[in-house]
Amino acid sequence: MGAAKRAMEFLPAAKPSMRNLERVIRAPVKFLKNPPGRSGQGTDRELVIVALTLAADPDPRAAAVLGRG
């Protein structure tokens, strides 16, 4: 979590909220099973990337299936 907070400093002003990032870090698969819709904020893309990265660590194939959802 500490590294994620430090990395957030390098993102542009329109960045995900720390609360949303913490939710993704705690449960990336849950986030990917119900991702934000097309009407979501512009920062949703970054959250999906974080969730896919975290979900792929233990199970890359499952993350690939979730990423197609």
Report d(CA 46, CA 15) in Å as an integer: 8
The pLDDT of residue 61 is: 84
Q: Which sign, positive or negative, has the C-alpha torsion 22, 47, 34, 38?
A: positive
Report d(CA 4, CA 35) in Å as an integer: 20
Look up the pTM and report it: 0.67
Q: Which pair of structure tokens corresponds to residue 17?
A: 């909220």
The total number of structural domains in the chain stands at 1
Structural domain containing residue 11: 2-68
Report d(CA 52, CA 10) in Å as an integer: 20
The tens digit of pLDDT for each residue in 7-63 reads 767 766 667 778 888 899 999 999 988 877 654 566 788 888 888 888 888 888 888
Report d(CA 4, CA 33) in Å as an integer: 22
The pLDDT of residue 39 is: 46
